[in-house]
Amino acid sequence: MKQAIMACAWIALATVICTADASAAIWQWGCMGPFGDNQIVSNRFQLLVIPGKPLKAKLYDLIFLDDLTTSDSIPKDDHEIENYNADDGNGGLDKEMTFTRNDSSGRKLTLTETSSKTISHRIVHGCRDEITDRFRKVYRVKAGDAPEHDATLQCIDYTLTTRGGRNCG
């Protein structure tokens, strides 16, 4: 019995040592565009409503940030920026996305898709496939008690796949 336990322990240890490095998939998305006199910028984790003219940032760069406010393109001293956290960071560009204000108000903002047009679909095949879809989406925006308005946003859905058993060496 002791030999069987030792054999199982050695097999388990060998399995851990010989296992190849794992490559996790990456999935990011986000949207940006005008919303009245403001700008909406969102990614997987948050949404900002920023007063004023369009940002100089590229949406492709913003979708990879954990915190949009760390971007050099986001004004640091503007206290009028509305900061919302995504209610479901794993939902993707769903037909309805909800965000909760990042303050004590708990105010909600809802984006409800009314139309979507695919602008481009790009796949770069390799050890890990890179897939980038770009869209123009019209969302009905409902923020708290404010009247609903439409916003036409440029959106990106980006995926970098796992190796999927491919030998990449």
pLDDT tens for 110-119 read: 999 999 999 9
Residue 142's region, left for phi above 0, alpha for psi from -120 to 50, else beta, is: beta
Dihedral pair phi/psi, residue 34, rounded to 5°? -75, 150
79/67: higher pLDDT = 67
Enter the tokens of residue 58: 């590229």
Domain-by-domain residue ranges, the chain?
Answer: 24-160
pLDDT above 60 (res 21): no
pLDDT above 90 (res 144): no
pTM, two decimal places: 0.81
In sequence order, what are the residues at sequence separation of 6 or more whose Cβ sits closer than 8 angstroms to the Cβ of residue 37?
Answer: 51, 52
Q: How far apart are CA 122 and CA 56, in angstroms?
A: 24
pLDDT digits (tens, 9 = 90+) for 28-73: 999 999 999 999 999 999 999 999 888 888 999 999 999 999 998 8
pLDDT above 50 (res 13): no
- pLDDT of 164 reads 75
Q: How far apart are CA 160 and CA 125, in angstroms?
A: 10
- pLDDT of 3 reads 57
Strand-strand pairing, 149-160 and 82-86: unpaired
Q: Which SS3 state, helix, strand or coil, does residue 161 take?
A: coil
Structure confidence at residue 163 as a pLDDT band (50, 70, 90)? confident
Enter the tokens of residue 151: 């916003």
Q: Which SS3 state, helix, strand or coil, does residue 33 take?
A: strand
18/92: higher pLDDT = 92
- pLDDT of 76 reads 79
Q: DSSP E strands: which ranges in 79-129?
A: 82-86, 96-101, 108-124
